[in-house]
Structure 1
Amino acid sequence: MKRHDTPGVVWWLVLLAAAGAFALTMGTRQTMGFFLSPLNTATGLGVGSISLAFAFGQLWWGLTQPFAGAVADRVGAGRVLLVGVLLVALGTFLTPFMTTTWGLIFAIGVLAAGGAGMAGPSVLMAATARLIPAERRGMATGVVNAGGSFGQFLMAPLAAALTASLGWMGALQALGFIVLLALPAAWVLRGPGPAAAPGAVPAIALPAREAIRCALHTPSYLLLSAGFFVCGFHVAFLATHLPGVVAACGLPAPVGAWALGVIGLFNIIGSLTMGWAVGRWRMKSLLSLVYASRAVAVLVFLLAPKTEAVLLVFAAVMGLTFLSTVPPTVGLVAKFFGTGNMAMLFGLVMLSHQAGGFLGAWLGGQVFEATGNYDWVWYLDIVLAVAAALVHLPIKEQAPVRLQPA
């Protein structure tokens, strides 16, 4: 039986594999901030030094995605995902044994984050976009994105429970083994990269240099990347420092784990809703709305009393906008260029996202050590969110551009 002889079965098998892999890799990465304080206590390196390892991980996660995407465009997603999942498991397992900043950078930043980049959204979204009809692409990317959110919702409380029963070192090693459950997805999503599903936009895979040249000469693509930089800043700051924000507010530590879980739960709702909305409204308008909503939510949080209820409500609102930017961003990249070089070109957008992520994770630690709180990072987050809401307005949503050699 061919891959597309029974479309309904194949589509949902593809979605299950991609969403499940994203749930395990993303869920593990997003819970690492929960271990920042135990790592600091065990190593004595200081929040700033440990934040550097987390920040490097954000940047390396982005740097690996264009290259992983370029390989997946040529040889298929399965082999790339296989290596990526193994690296995430290895890096997570080795983290408790690292006692220096460079050791943490290697385990968290190079191995785990690099593997998560190889098994990340650029490869998963592109594989999904190729293997399903174009008319289902918006909802499909929403489902895959929701998988990452479900992983965060599931893994954050699981990390807290494992820490309570096994200690923080045992919890990290257990998470490393759990990530291996994503390995079957590599088999499901295997196959030649450029293959297109029936009904999908024809895939035209050009040499990487020519595709990148075309993308960098597309103003709307550059504006989209600039907006995604802000998304990375916001997401990485919350994922790394929300437990620290909880502690700074004088609230119990488990509230931080539950807040991360609430973000993941409501991000499922936000991702699915955005996947539905992508086919009905302009994607650039949806992105502007998301960033404007973040600015308002952060401002209200700063003005509100810092109680457990307020923090969890704030986490829920942030969850609705947390990764709901991904479906319209993927949709715009596919609309600009088709799917032939999509993994690589979306990977470049993710690189911009993770450059912002590096700044958010690193700056959070530096500001906290300098001032004892995170207020100035929140102020910067508001300014950046407003800027991102504005920068999407000039984007031109055009029909797919047929990439040709220069």
Structure 2
Amino acid sequence: MHKWQGAGVALICGALILLVSLGVRHGFGLFLQPISMDQGWGRGTFAFAIALQNLVWGASQPFTGILADRYGAKPIIIGGAVLYASGLWIMSVVAGQGLFILGAGVLIGLGLSGTTFPVIFGAISRLVQPAQRSLAMGITMAVGSFGQFAMLPISLGLIMEFDWQGALIVLSGLALAMIPLAFGIRFAPAPVANAQEDVSFGQALRDAFRERDFWLLSLGFFACGFQVVFIAVHLPAYLADKGIDSGVATTVLALIGLVNIAGAYLAGLWGGRLRKPMLLSWIYLARAVVIAAFLLIPISAASAYGFGALMGLFWLSTVPLTNGTVAAVFGVKHMSMLGGIVFFAHQLGSFAGGWLGGWLYDLTGSYDLAWSIAIALSLVAAVLNWPITERSLAQRRTSA
């Protein structure tokens, strides 16, 4: 237990911040239909707002990572929580599409960049021994996944009780609860294993951009972003189009979050024992199989539940493995920044998944093409991750 001393409080607080931040975000798909119908918008407007949210989140993540690496996670999380809460409140006002997109897309996107895994993982990685980093990330991600499970029925209940506008106001207040949790994450200087890691952020960027594996990891993460946002945002509407009750969709998304508790924990555990990029390849391949089976089997409540349970195993289990690979290769001094850049690729995929899902539906009247793209990207990501190695920069230069 001595290896965890000094990290326990940060681990708990970081996990609870992820629980709130990711949990609230995971329920946005429940708001697509009621907001679009009440406002007389097509699905493309809501989809674009969520897609922009993911793009802003990803584009700002390297910069919030730089600030977190330099000044610590606490002020970044506090600022992110305020922006997150402001965005949710503005969504509830709905004084036009432009203001809605500002709140849902820009402010919440900035808020997420300060309250999710690149910042949290960077802080925790400095407080635990290298051999325990993968497991620490897995545990933190597992608790965050519980938020995705718990917040769905809560969000649905709030919508039913207070309508969607009242629900967003309540969630805005909940986002502010991340502020006191930020005080539990202390700032620790990054441990430097060797001179290769003791560099400026500019040199760290140049080192990363020279490495083929950095680009392969980033490109593979694009597929993850496309799939999780497309499914989270559009699955409720897809099932409704097939005549499946909205309560089933809520349960499916909750199942994804519930089962991902085990998926994220096991990914972190196995990532400390097996080659992380290899595990990533198998996860992406498994996603392709699960999505294909879901589309081929006749749609029913039972098949939707099965899809949620299986997809949950592989939902965010990519996150501790991807961030763990970054730490193994480049160290943790600039981990929040480098992890943020890799995450930007994920969010480019998220933008594509959220926006294309709505745009293709409005264009063709079907989600079939978007599902096909999700399968193809999974296969590409499996191929891209397989050749990645976890050798540190020092090891790579010694063997070069």
What is the TM-score normalised by the length of structure 1? 0.94
Are residues 1:279 and 2:272 paired?
A: yes
CA distance in 2, matches of 1:177, 1:205: 41
Q: Which amino acid aligns with 1:139?
A: L
Deviations 1:207-234 (A, max 9, x none): 3322111111010111000000110000
Q: Which amino acid aligns with 1:11?
A: A
Q: Which amino acid aligns with 1:328?
A: L
| Counterparts of residues 48-197 of structure 1 (less than 5 Å) | 48-192=44-188, 194-196=189-191
| Counterparts of residues 382-393 of structure 1 (less than 5 Å) | 382-393=375-386
Taking structure 1 as reference, are residues 209 and 399 closer, same or farther at Cα in structure 2, changes over 3 Å only? Answer: closer
Q: Which amino acid aligns with 2:323?
A: V
**Cα RMSD (Å) of the superposition?**
1.8
* Post-superposition offset of 1:402: 8.9
Q: Percent identity?
A: 38
Partner of 1:26: 22
| SS across alignment from 2:314 | helix
> Would the aligned equivalents of 1:337 and 1:401 in 2 still touch at CA under 8 Å?
no
Are residues 1:41 and 2:34 paired?
A: no
CA distance in 1, matches of 2:125, 2:275: 19
> Would the aligned equivalents of 2:145 and 2:257 in 1 still touch at CA under 8 Å?
yes
Partner of 2:309: 316
Q: How many residues align?
A: 396
Taking structure 1 as reference, are residues 371 and 114 closer, same or farther at Cα in structure 2, changes over 3 Å only? Answer: same
Q: Which amino acid aligns with 1:285?
A: M
> Would the aligned equivalents of 2:123 and 2:187 in 1 still touch at CA under 8 Å?
no
Which residue of the other structure, out of 325, 328, 340, is the alignment partner of 1:335? Answer: 328
> Would the aligned equivalents of 1:334 and 1:400 in 2 still touch at CA under 8 Å?
no
CA distance in 2, matches of 1:201, 1:15: 22
Q: Which amino acid aligns with 1:134?
A: P
Which residue of the other structure, out of 241, 244, 263, is the alignment partner of 2:234? Answer: 241
> Would the aligned equivalents of 1:225 and 1:349 in 2 still touch at CA under 8 Å?
yes
> Would the aligned equivalents of 2:90 and 2:100 in 1 still touch at CA under 8 Å?
no
Partner of 1:270: 263
Q: Which amino acid aligns with 1:261?
A: A
**More displaced stretch, 73-82 vs 204-213:** 204-213
* Post-superposition offset of 1:9: 5.0
Are residues 1:373 and 2:373 paired?
A: no
Deviations 1:27-82 (A, max 9, x none): 11111111011110122121112211110001111111100000011111111011
CA distance in 2, matches of 1:356, 1:322: 15
CA distance in 2, matches of 1:99, 1:46: 17
CA distance in 1, matches of 2:200, 2:395: 14
Q: Which amino acid aligns with 1:178?
A: L
> Would the aligned equivalents of 1:51 and 1:361 in 2 still touch at CA under 8 Å?
yes
> Would the aligned equivalents of 2:78 and 2:182 in 1 still touch at CA under 8 Å?
yes
Taking structure 1 as reference, are residues 44 and 205 closer, same or farther at Cα in structure 2, changes over 3 Å only? Answer: farther
> Would the aligned equivalents of 1:134 and 1:201 in 2 still touch at CA under 8 Å?
no
| SS across alignment from 1:261 | helix
Structure 2's unaligned 5+ residue stretches are: none
> Would the aligned equivalents of 1:367 and 1:377 in 2 still touch at CA under 8 Å?
yes
* Post-superposition offset of 1:382: 0.8
Taking structure 1 as reference, are residues 163 and 201 closer, same or farther at Cα in structure 2, changes over 3 Å only? Answer: farther
**More displaced stretch, 200-209 vs 17-26:** 200-209
Are residues 1:350 and 2:343 paired?
A: yes
What is the TM-score normalised by the length of structure 2? 0.95
> Would the aligned equivalents of 1:201 and 1:339 in 2 still touch at CA under 8 Å?
no
Deviations 1:135-188 (A, max 9, x none): 111110001111221111011110011111111111111111112222222111
| SS across alignment from 1:394 | coil
* Post-superposition offset of 1:202: 6.3
Are residues 1:252 and 2:241 paired?
A: no
